Amino acid sequence: MFPESEYERVYTGSLINVQFLQTLLQDRGINSITRDDMKSGMLAGFGGGIPDHIQLFVKKTDVEDAIPIIEKSLS
């Protein structure tokens, strides 16, 4: 059985949008991490993932604060 992650996905989109959101979140004291399956697959030597399909994660304790920032920024 895998341990439950302390992170939750809050957005999926282009690298530019993800970097923009990371900056906004960081300015408000919310740390985030990204996951890019396409880039990971290429580095490992095989194809995988969808181009421009970057996932943004924040700690579960920060989700309530992060979601309104993301929604307001992209509306």
Count of domains observed in the chain:
1
Domain span at residue 33?
7-74
Overall pTM surpassing 0.85 (yes/no): no
Question: Considering the domain boundaries, does residue 32 fall inside one?
Answer: yes
Q: Under 8 Å CB-to-CB from 49, ≥6 apart: which residues? A: 36, 37, 38, 39, 40, 41
In the predicted model, is pLDDT for residue 73 greater than 70?
yes
CATH at residue 27: 3.30.70.1530
Convert the pLDDT of each residue in 11-37 to its tens digit.
999 999 999 999 999 999 999 999 886
Question: Considering the domain boundaries, does residue 1 fall inside one?
Answer: no
